[in-house]
A and B are shown apart, each in its own frame.
Chain A
């Protein structure tokens, strides 16, 4: 069964890497298009982000089908149970997905034609695709959260309303924005390495880098709060999960998660530095910030203390941002186009993806020996396969 979980996990992670980015970009594209009315660079970004979504779209879906097929073959009981008990929500999910395909493809492939008729109409099309993909993902998240915190319910809808569904939705939503923001900045950083870029292109990629960083860090600051609510709900519904996470081999993943979070905060801070060092900020404050972040990682297995430190880190980050963002909005900030900044931006994109995947892995491993907490055990799956197909 461990091997089975491994292979399902591999394809699941490959799928959510693309799917998470795709959803993030689908949310950002119509917003960027709206901003593009006054700042054309954002329209270019909206187009590029949608292009990325489309290019990776089928690959992402096929990876999902791959994962599902492995799930059917290797976890037949869990698979049947879930599809059987969530059939009504799944019908809605399929309908939403179906309509979404018909919004997304014209949004990209008839970009100029539709925009020439109505930019608002075109944005509405993109926004509809984003809302519909969130409905699709939301229902699948409902099933995922049920596997962790199942509830008694007569219908699929009732089971969907389990304690961790809404917290997971919020956590996932901002998680998608974190990776979309940092990957956007990483892409801009990578493109800025090109020495033969024309000045207007340099300006475009600098805007992209700043916007990506801003989206990434703001969403990242929301994540500890939404994550706290998510963890509280899990603790309330399944008290043994936290114990399992902090006392087993999964502790390494927890450390990994906070190390990556620390890396994102520190890396972002290094990019922001030129924005506020110019304004004579205290080196002691910098030292305290780094110390707080290190403490947050060290205290990872002790939730109470770690949360106190995390609040301090968030307050410090927020304070830095109040200085940095006005500068970024006001000035052209050509100083960002340095090898150091570009390298950091690219590293952060990679780290954000890793963090996203690590958190997904932790959530799946938290169920321990159960595929659906308290309903189906892995051993039942093994026994079923062995009995039915020796």
Chain B
């Protein structure tokens, strides 16, 4: 039983899998975040009885249904591509992570069923005892989505820090597992928050009556507050994640922090800073629009904006200049001392989080004390600018998510690994060209920390 070599470059396979995996993860993370935000919104609607919460929950339900359908296709696409382009890797990882994969599929099934029930039984669940049951649908869907993410994080983290190779529980709770999961919890909330805010903002721009405009403004602000809040927690969780990566897989850590792909991490830093900066601009517009521009805030905003801007510049600066693609052609300098992590970037990150948090408090206050009556004419321009800012934030989040995914994958791929210390890219060579070695499905011997182990 032999396999035919694909007779194409491995780059084709890498691009196909990267494209399908990244687009899949974009929707998967959105589903996890939006199901949780949907559950919170539906609960607010149930408790307060406010109509706009219910309307927002239905909007979230609709996006959740559409994204669940999309991801089910993207999941099929990814599984097909893995089977076609990386069969050796796919079968190896599947055997090691059989139960997490099966569990993840079962939980996604649960998420899909309950999310669909939540949306398609909307009218049914509006009265009497059905309200509670209807509310339970989205909480179960969110629970399933979170549990599915937990299971897939086991596999994702295992690929980077598979230590030790043969022990099941140690593989599940490998050094970076919990931190990756926590990182994704808040990352998903930030992404879904900004994405939903952007959807509301787009609808606001298209709305042709005052009622709709007010609703979409409220929706944008509500989702922004959730997204921005979650964004502020990311550095603390990310720091822990990197710390465990450093001890669990020093080579990978070095690659992304100081090595060949450190520029990608700088890009992530730059994007993060820009998001905080844009967020503070949005908060400023919010304060203006809500006519809550106090004298304290008048003094705080320019100062905060300046500090955040400076922090963005510092955080985005590379330390190893020669690793930045293209830049090394124009500069002889190898090191940029200002781009050093300690102390400069730590200070920059701290400034972003601290000032971002104060901005968030203002945003929360402005949202809480928002005015119910129509705003005076002349504010439309400010509102449109707010909407544009919210849309830009979502765009930046997408780039950020893709960049972070690329960073994590690069940490392995640059060093030639598909699964760190277990399986290399060259183990897939026989899938692509007739190497004369073997064209059968064959797993290389398991290795652990350079020491070959016969399975």
The answer on a CB contact under 8 Å between B98 and A73 is yes
Which residue from chain A places its CB closest to the CB of B16 in the assembled complex? A91
Assuming A94-B77, A98-B73, is B112 touching A62 (CB within 8 A)? Answer: yes
Assuming A65-B79, A72-B83, A79-B83, is B116 touching A55 (CB within 8 A)? Answer: yes
- Tell me the residues in window 376-390 of chain A with beta carbons closer than 8 Å to chain B beta carbons: 376, 380, 384-385, 388-390
Which residue from chain A places its CB closest to the CB of B98 in the assembled complex? A73
CA–CA, A83 to B112, complex, Å?
A: 27
> Contacts of A83 on B, CB cut-off 8 Å?
80, 83-84, 87
- Tell me the residues in window 339-390 of chain A with beta carbons closer than 8 Å to chain B beta carbons: 375-376, 380, 384-385, 388-390
The answer on a CB contact under 8 Å between A77 and B109 is no
CA–CA, A84 to B431, complex, Å?
A: 9
Question: Looking at the complex, which one of B3, B6, B75, B455 makes contact with A80 (CB distance below 8 Å)?
Answer: B3
Assuming A57-B69, A83-B80, is B120 touching A76 (CB within 8 A)? Answer: no
Is B340 part of the binding interface, using a Cβ–Cβ cutoff of 8 Å? Answer: no
Q: Chain A interface mostly helix, strand, loop or mixed?
A: helix
CA–CA, A80 to B438, complex, Å?
A: 15
CB-defined interface of B93-134 with A at 8 Å, one 1/0 digit per residue? 011001001100110110011001000100000000000000
A111 CB to nearest chain B CB (Å) = 14
The answer on a CB contact under 8 Å between A55 and B120 is yes
Is A81 part of the binding interface, using a Cβ–Cβ cutoff of 8 Å? Answer: yes
> Contacts of B120 on A, CB cut-off 8 Å?
51, 55
Is A59 part of the binding interface, using a Cβ–Cβ cutoff of 8 Å? Answer: yes
The answer on a CB contact under 8 Å between B116 and A389 is no
Question: Looking at the complex, which one of A51, A65, A68 makes contact with B72 (CB distance below 8 Å)?
Answer: A65
Is B68 part of the binding interface, using a Cβ–Cβ cutoff of 8 Å? Answer: yes
Is A281 part of the binding interface, using a Cβ–Cβ cutoff of 8 Å? Answer: no
> Contacts of A384 on B, CB cut-off 8 Å?
441
Is A118 part of the binding interface, using a Cβ–Cβ cutoff of 8 Å? Answer: no
The answer on a CB contact under 8 Å between B3 and A76 is no
The answer on a CB contact under 8 Å between B87 and A80 is yes
> Contacts of B76 on A, CB cut-off 8 Å?
61, 64-65, 68, 94, 97
CA–CA, A376 to B98, complex, Å?
A: 22
Question: Looking at the complex, which one of B68, B84, B91, B106 makes contact with A90 (CB distance below 8 Å)?
Answer: B84
Which residue from chain A places its CB closest to the CB of B113 in the assembled complex? A59
CB-defined interface of B53-84 with A at 8 Å, one 1/0 digit per residue? 00000000000001011101101110110011
> Contacts of B112 on A, CB cut-off 8 Å?
58-59, 62
CB-defined interface of A83-104 with B at 8 Å, one 1/0 digit per residue? 1110100100010011001000
The answer on a CB contact under 8 Å between A69 and B441 is no
The answer on a CB contact under 8 Å between B84 and A84 is yes
CA–CA, A36 to B95, complex, Å?
A: 52
> Contacts of A385 on B, CB cut-off 8 Å?
95
The answer on a CB contact under 8 Å between A58 and B441 is no
The answer on a CB contact under 8 Å between B69 and A105 is yes
Question: Looking at the complex, which one of A66, A94, A375, A380 makes contact with B80 (CB distance below 8 Å)?
Answer: A94
Range class of the A interface residue count: 35 or more
Which residue from chain A places its CB closest to the CB of B442 in the assembled complex? A388
> Contacts of B4 on A, CB cut-off 8 Å?
84-85
Is A147 part of the binding interface, using a Cβ–Cβ cutoff of 8 Å? Answer: no
- Tell me the residues in window 92-135 of chain A with beta carbons closer than 8 Å to chain B beta carbons: 94, 97-98, 101, 105, 109
CA–CA, A218 to B278, complex, Å?
A: 64
Range class of the B interface residue count: 35 or more
> Contacts of A76 on B, CB cut-off 8 Å?
91, 94-95, 441
The answer on a CB contact under 8 Å between B72 and A388 is no
Is B90 part of the binding interface, using a Cβ–Cβ cutoff of 8 Å? Answer: yes
> Contacts of B94 on A, CB cut-off 8 Å?
69, 72-73, 76
Question: Looking at the complex, which one of B69, B80, B90, B101 makes contact with A58 (CB distance below 8 Å)?
Answer: B69
The answer on a CB contact under 8 Å between B455 and A58 is no
Which residue from chain B places its CB closest to the CB of A81 in the assembled complex? B1
Question: Looking at the complex, which one of B68, B69, B72, B102 makes contact with A69 (CB distance below 8 Å)?
Answer: B102
> Contacts of A79 on B, CB cut-off 8 Å?
83, 91
> Contacts of A64 on B, CB cut-off 8 Å?
76
Question: Looking at the complex, which one of B1, B102, B455 makes contact with A388 (CB distance below 8 Å)?
Answer: B455
CA–CA, A54 to B69, complex, Å?
A: 9
Assuming A66-B102, A72-B90, A73-B95, is B68 touching A58 (CB within 8 A)? Answer: yes
The answer on a CB contact under 8 Å between A59 and B84 is no
Which residue from chain B places its CB closest to the CB of A87 in the assembled complex? B84
CA–CA, A101 to B98, complex, Å?
A: 29
CA–CA, A76 to B75, complex, Å?
A: 19
Which residue from chain A places its CB closest to the CB of B104 in the assembled complex? A69
> Contacts of A61 on B, CB cut-off 8 Å?
72-73, 75-76
Question: Looking at the complex, which one of A63, A97, A109, A380 makes contact with B73 (CB distance below 8 Å)?
Answer: A97
CA–CA, A84 to B443, complex, Å?
A: 16
Is A271 part of the binding interface, using a Cβ–Cβ cutoff of 8 Å? Answer: no
CA–CA, A375 to B3, complex, Å?
A: 12
CA–CA, A375 to B354, complex, Å?
A: 65
3 nearest CB pairs, A to B: A83-B83, A61-B72, A58-B112
Given contacts A51-B120, A62-B109, A76-B91, 13 further A-B contacts (CB under 8 A): A59-B112, A59-B116, A62-B72, A62-B105, A65-B76, A66-B109, A77-B1, A80-B83, A80-B441, A87-B6, A90-B80, A98-B73, A390-B455
Q: List 7 A-B contacts (CB under 8 A).
A: A58-B68, A69-B94, A72-B90, A76-B441, A80-B441, A90-B84, A101-B73
